[in-house]
Amino acid sequence: MSVLTAEQPVVDFKKAEQFLGQFILDLSANYSGVMALLGQELGLYTAMRGAGPLTPHELAAKTNTFERYIREWLNNQAAGGYIVYDKVNKTYELPEEHALVLVEKDSPFLLGPAYYVVNSLWKDKDKLLNAFTTGSGIGWHEHHHDLFHGVESVYRTGYLANLNSVWIPSLPGMETKLRNGGRVADIGCGHGASTILMAEAFPNSEFYGFDYHTASIAVAKQRAAEKGLTNVFFIEAGAEAYTQGNFDMICFFDCLHDLGNPLKALQYARTKLATDGSLLFVEPNAGDNPEDNFNPIGRMFYAASTALCVPHSHSEDGDYCLGAQAGPAAVKQIVKEAGYSRFRIAQQNPINLIFEVKH
């Protein structure tokens, strides 16, 4: 008696080889991501910046590290194109253009500290395994502290390049209002990067940063104190619990999709928004369909959404779980349900969609 077996799939080995090549590139990048984080934490990139060509011995001496480790690290960085190798003189150099991406705090290109976010994802992997198998959520406060440091540094890059110069001016009349003296609420402010940038640009206005995360509010207060700002205030409060009067602008920077109940948050914001005020949302630039986002940026945001956004939303009442790639249609629907009459895309770039919402 013969035994029926499932038909074996026909394998195209050329396609398998192509995918293997893609996977090796990803694997190499992941291995080297650890090296990039070492470059951040040991100050290797900073020491190389502006120093011209260096030997491993010279870089080790500058950073109080061991030469044999430095030599191997430098070769990894040169193989990845992060630094330039001179095979004649056997020296290594960090181009200034690369330093703008890796270490320059006020650069519009800074992404180097994003590896702190990646590091936090690996450290929280077991929590994610549990979430996948039990359906539990993971609150923002439950993540490794590298996440908060990485998010502050990387998102500040976008805010520094766009917030005061492009996004706020795209809301009719708002820039003038803030120059003359307005009141702004920054919901989910984290370490306060966005709040502080606005407070510096508009000294006649008052800025209130709200976040439920105690440790983040403490850091935000410290950042403001270091700047000597007197027009910015950081208060521990959730998206439905701030009580400091009415506001001319209420901002949700990269956080609306994280909320368990964005509908309630927007309904509450409506009670705190001045009659002619505006809500300002900054969200990842995503299409309404999954396939619209099948690109390198979408891939990155879907990973962040899986590990950070959906778990946090799932940890809160409401459990909307919009995710980082929700798209404008999903956001518009919630805005409409919350009772607002005006919704538009005010600005967009490859990374962000900027929405204006009014009564």
3-class state of residue 90 by DSSP = coil
% of the chain residues with pLDDT over 90: 95
Is the per-residue pLDDT at 2 higher than 70?
A: no
Give residue 128's pLDDT.
97
Give residue 245's pLDDT.
86
* Separation between Cα atoms, residue 139 and residue 148, nearest integer Å: 13
Please state the rounded mean pLDDT for residues 327-356.
Answer: 96
Task: Specify the pTM.
Answer: 0.91
Is the per-residue pLDDT at 266 higher than 70?
A: yes
Can you read off the two tokens belonging to residue 187?
């919901």
Is the per-residue pLDDT at 3 higher than 80?
A: no
Task: Give, in order, the Cα–Cα distances in Å from 51 to each of 66, 91, 103, 180.
Answer: 19, 12, 14, 45
Within 10 A of 46 (CB to CB), how many other CB atoms are there?
18
Segment 198-244, tens digit of pLDDT: 999 999 999 999 999 999 999 999 999 999 999 999 999 999 999 98
Segment 73-86, tens digit of pLDDT: 999 999 999 999 99
* Separation between Cα atoms, residue 148 and residue 314, nearest integer Å: 19
**More confident: 39 or 108:** 39
Give residue 1's pLDDT.
45
pLDDT band, very low/low/confident/very high, at 6 (cuts 50, 70, 90) = low
Is the per-residue pLDDT at 150 higher than 90?
A: yes
Please state the rounded mean pLDDT for residues 283-293.
Answer: 96
% of the chain residues with pLDDT over 70: 98
* Separation between Cα atoms, residue 71 and residue 65, nearest integer Å: 11
Sequence-ordered strand ranges (E) for the chain: 84-86, 91-93, 183-187, 206-211, 232-236, 247-253, 273-284, 342-348, 352-358
* Separation between Cα atoms, residue 162 and residue 317, nearest integer Å: 33
Within 10 A of 339 (CB to CB), how many other CB atoms are there?
11
Can you read off the two tokens belonging to residue 96?
């200034």
Determine the distance from the C-alpha atom of residue 218 to the mean position of all C-alpha atoms in its chain, rounded to a whole number: 20
Q: Rounded to 5, what percent of the chain is helix, strand, coil?
A: 55, 15, 30
- In the block, residue with structure tokens 């919350």: 338
* Separation between Cα atoms, residue 246 and residue 167, nearest integer Å: 21
Please state the rounded mean pLDDT for residues 136-157.
Answer: 95
Give residue 5's pLDDT.
56
Q: 183-187 and 206-211: which strand pairing?
A: parallel
Length of the chain equals 359
Is the per-residue pLDDT at 353 higher than 60?
A: yes
* Separation between Cα atoms, residue 319 and residue 310, nearest integer Å: 9
State phi, psi for 131 to the nearest 5 degrees: -65, -40
Segment 301-319, tens digit of pLDDT: 999 999 999 999 999 988 8
214, 243 in Cβ contact below 8 A? no
Identify the structural domains of the chain with CATH numbers, from first to last: 13-102 (1.10.10.10), 114-358 (3.40.50.150)
273, 359 in Cβ contact below 8 A? yes
Average pLDDT value for the chain: 95
pLDDT band, very low/low/confident/very high, at 36 (cuts 50, 70, 90) = very high
Q: What is the DSSP string of 225-260?
A: HHHT-SSEEEEE--TT---S--EEEEEEES-GGG-S
3-class state of residue 38 by DSSP = helix
